Amino acid sequence: MQVASRAQSETVGMILLLGLVVVVVTVGGVAALAAVDDYRDDAPLVELDVTVDGSNLTLAHRAGDTLRAGDVAVVTRSEDTTTRYSLGTDGDINRRATTSESQFGPGDSWRPTAPVGFDGSDPYLVLVVHEPSNTVIHRAERTLGAVTETPGPAPTPRPTTTSPPATTTSTATTTATTATTTTTTTTTTPESTAINGVHVEDRTTNSGGAGYRVDYDVAAGSDFDRVRVTFENLDSSWATQTVTETNARGFATYDIGAGVGDRYRITVAALDAGGNVLDSRTISDVADGDNPDANTGLPETNDPKIRGAALIDLTQEGAAYELNYNVTNASNLSEIRVEFDNLDAPSATAELSGTAPRGTIAGYSAYDGTEGDDYEVVIRVFDEDGVLVDRRVISDVADGVDPAGNDDLTRVSSPSFEGTIIDDLSMTQADYEASYNVTDRAEFGRVRLWVSNVDDSYAEGIYESADPRNTIDDFAAEDNGGTFGMTYRIRLQLLDADGVVVDERIVTDDADWTDPSGNDGLSRAGSPSFDSVSVSDNSQTNRNRVRYRVDYEVVGTGEFAEVEVYFRNRQQPQASGVIRSTATSENNLEYTETYGTGDTYDIEVRVVDADGIVVDRYVLSDIAGDKNA
């Protein structure tokens, strides 16, 4: 079977120029309609033929203006599929490969590279679009069978009726002036088809073009057959598209690859088997990424809903996020999708998903340089029908600080920190460790420490432990040269078994050997402790040799691990150091350095238990060589 039609150009008269003629040609029993739509002064004047034979399509240029191939698109549309071809990239002219600069003039024929997929059963429409003038310069329509529904203005809703038809009584009275008064009474029943709700989501992006997702819910009576969703572009008629769905509750999508900023009229119509409109809803919108105000929602009492959400900003070198959430009515839940939309760098936008009713959507990270970008994080919840039933948007700047307004997702059974210690061990370079103890461990998941350098992002890190009582000391000084004195933001987070943050401690601290305020004591019954400690200054000033001797005795050694002694030189940090011993008793633990006499040393002697936690301390300051330690 073939479909062929012809549109006249300037070479065949000025009638077409005035837009007054629609030509209908019948070839081999096939109806073809050709007309120039939305004619503009800058549109070319051409005579074209379209032939569709099986899976082959040919566009022939008969007369008129020569066209630049890159300016012309061919749009093919069947009932369920719309395909767009460019003459400059997606086919050949006269059997020769084309480029955007190729010329398409009288006598030329263009064919697409791939088969067009016309199976002879669906209505089939071919539009030839001149893109610079945004004008349809040729239209060819192939129909088989009775009537093909053609996308157009939204149908006017009519009164809801029952099946079988409602009983109607009409009374007419005629006066001398021939005026007629008509009274109509319509009987309906609850089984009649009606649209309960429609939600239109504008998913337009500058890179992807106009995009929409329409979710709908129809109370289907015995007369219901299908739902038709028409995406009518009021500025570019070729971009209009119709989608048909047989489910009474479902969704339809639109993605045309163009149309940003265009006006759209979106109509959802419930149809009977004869194609009659039983009920409809129409929403107007501009394709700009913002949802229209006329959304009615999709009410169902058992729909899953977002009970709480918390966006965790893990940005360090490049934006990084995770989302904690909790959803109710989970028996009807199919999926949660989270779109991390970078408003400054669209290429960094990504979508992640999960199916658990309470948990974490994790794993989003962007390239270095996206820190500081603006983000919109869109949470979408879908029911078992795949329908969008709840949505929330959280705005944030990717700076390592959580946005205001995060929900508290803890529950009665959640674990919590019984105590935390953040130790600033910086001597020549920044050095931190964090100790903690967790109570109510039935739902314990893990603890996460992340250290962020406020002054320079190169000295940062995130570390985790699955031990409910432990010390995380991975942020090693030797990996972060030149960072002494810089400011750090330190977060110690407790995550439950679902990966949700249920407790947290955040401090800001200068890496200067001084611990931040708020530290707890983590010793417990049975923890080791000092029975005695003494530090002797045996430094030799005449040789500029620093020497300290440490004697100690530890009691309660059941959980003992080691003793560590830090010597920090205030004037010359490079003359600082640490010594350790696993003995519970020492009579001569010695620290030496070949210079530094006369300098002040801060000395800390620490007992460490089997979990790596400091459970006892002895602290003093001394001038090396004055024999006063």
User: Where along the chain do the CATH 2.60.40.10 domains lie?
Assistant: 194-286, 305-397, 416-510, 529-623
C-alpha–C-alpha distance, residues 545 and 551, integer Å? 20
Sign of CA dihedral 407, 413, 415, 416: positive
What percent helix, strand, coil does the chain show, rounded to 5? 5, 50, 45
* Topology adopted by domain 2-142: Immunoglobulin-like (2.60.40)
* Topology adopted by domain 305-397: Immunoglobulin-like (2.60.40)
CB 389 within 8 A of CB 438: no
C-alpha–C-alpha distance, residues 581 and 550, integer Å? 11
pLDDT in tens, 139-171: 887 654 322 333 333 333 333 333 333 333 333
pLDDT in tens, 429-474: 899 999 999 999 999 999 999 998 888 767 788 899 999 999 999 8
In CATH terms, the superfamily for domain 194-286 is Immunoglobulins (2.60.40.10)
pLDDT in tens, 92-138: 998 888 888 889 988 889 989 887 766 655 567 888 998 888 888 88
Confidence of residue 54 (pLDDT cuts 50, 70, 90): low
Q: What is the mean pLDDT of residues 521-547?
A: 94
Nearest in space to 185 (alpha carbons), one of 174, 173, 170: 170
In CATH terms, the superfamily for domain 416-510 is Immunoglobulins (2.60.40.10)
pLDDT in tens, 386-438: 899 999 999 999 999 999 999 999 999 999 999 999 999 998 889 999 999 99
Question: In the sheet where 388-397 sits, what is the strand order?
Answer: 350-354, 333-342, 374-383, 388-397
Give the pair of three-digit tokens for residue 249.
Answer: 């509750």
CB 281 within 8 A of CB 198: yes
Confidence of residue 629 (pLDDT cuts 50, 70, 90): low
Highest mean pLDDT: which range of 63-77, 251-265, 293-307, 436-450:
436-450
Of 629 and 145, the structure prediction assigns the larger pLDDT to 629
C-alpha–C-alpha distance, residues 233 and 248, integer Å? 25
Give percent of the chain above pLDDT 70: 82
Nearest in space to 195 (alpha carbons), one of 296, 266, 279: 279
**Residue 378 CB partners (closer than 8 Å, separation 6+):** 338, 339, 341, 391, 392, 393
- What's the mean pLDDT when you consider all of the chain? 83
Longest alpha-carbon distance in the chain: 134
Return the exposure string of 386-417: e unless at least 16 CB atoms fall within 10 Å of the residue's CB, then b: ebbbbebebebbbebebbeebeebbeeebbeb
- The pLDDT of residue 428 is 85
- The pLDDT of residue 126 is 85
Confidence of residue 545 (pLDDT cuts 50, 70, 90): very high
Pick the CATH number of 529-623 from 2.60.40.740, 2.60.40.10, 3.30.420.480, 3.40.605.10: 2.60.40.10
pLDDT in tens, 311-356: 999 998 899 999 999 999 999 999 999 999 999 998 899 999 999 9
Q: What is the mean pLDDT of residues 291-295?
A: 83
